[in-house]
Amino acid sequence: MILYHMSQTLRCGDTFIPDFQKTESLCEPFTQALERSEDCFYGMLLNGKYLYAVLCKSHLREWSDYAKWATEGLFEFVRKKEYPDSYSRLNSFFFYDDLNNSRKLYWDDWGAESDEERGKVHLFEVEVEDTAPQKRDMSLFNKAYIALSEKQDIAFALSCARQYFSGEHSEEPVWEIMSNKRAVVRRDISNKL
């Protein structure tokens, strides 16, 4: 199956490697906290918020986005407990099945960046060896992220995670295709952006 993927690091011929940036370890403490209680998770959120402020002030914020890792941890908690047959976001790859959607996402994410920064991001055709990848609405993840980062609203974020893994979608879905199967970069099509 041919799908599309944006990356700053991949090259033609590369094979995808699960959790190549080792982010699962950043999410697991949030999942463990939620397994204990929502209060424990809330404490982790506030601790993460404080750490984020300290790292930003120190200009060391690259991996300090506590709300992203908290959201991923919360989604993993819901997946494990309620949707164990769904792919884990933590060890899946994310693709797009529509070239026009890929273009839109590229410009949404990178449109405000300089030409030099945009030029670092490539759009690839990828051959994915998965006969049943899972289609999910990324906007539900984004809503959960905003709920945790701005309001620490755990209940709303949990609701978003349940909708996401059940296959529901928002009024204006942003589709992402998840797979944890072998995928190989076949062609750089950045010129189509």
H or E segment and range at residue 7: strand 2-7
Dist CA 96 CA 6 (whole Å): 9
pLDDT at 119: 85
- State the DSSP string of 10-42: --TT-B--TTTT--HHHHHHHHHHHHH-HHHHH
Average pLDDT over residues 118-138: 93
Average pLDDT, the chain: 90
Average pLDDT over residues 141-148: 97
Q: Is 147 exposed, middle or buried (0-12, 13-18, 19+ CB in 10 A)?
A: buried
Torsion of CA 74, 75, 81, 87, to 10 degrees: -150
The phi, psi pair for 56, rounded to 5°, reads -65, -45
pLDDT at 20: 61
Average pLDDT over residues 156-160: 98
- Residue 80 in 3-state DSSP? helix
With residues binned 3-state (H G I as helix, E B as strand, rest as coil), the percentages for the chain, rounded to 5, are 50, 15, 30
- Residue 183 in 3-state DSSP? strand
| HSE value, Cβ hemisphere, 13 Å, CA-based, for 21 | 13
| CA 148 remoteness from chain centre | 15
The structure tokens listed for 19 are 């959790």
Average pLDDT over residues 75-85: 97
Instruction: Please determine, for residue 108, whether its predicted confidence score (pLDDT) is greater than 90.
Output: no
For the stretch 25-72, pLDDT in tens is: 888 999 999 999 999 999 999 988 888 888 878 777 665 688 999 999
H or E segment and range at residue 94: strand 93-95
Report the range of poorest mean pLDDT among 16-20, 96-100, 155-159. 16-20
Report the range of poorest mean pLDDT among 54-58, 150-154, 173-177. 54-58
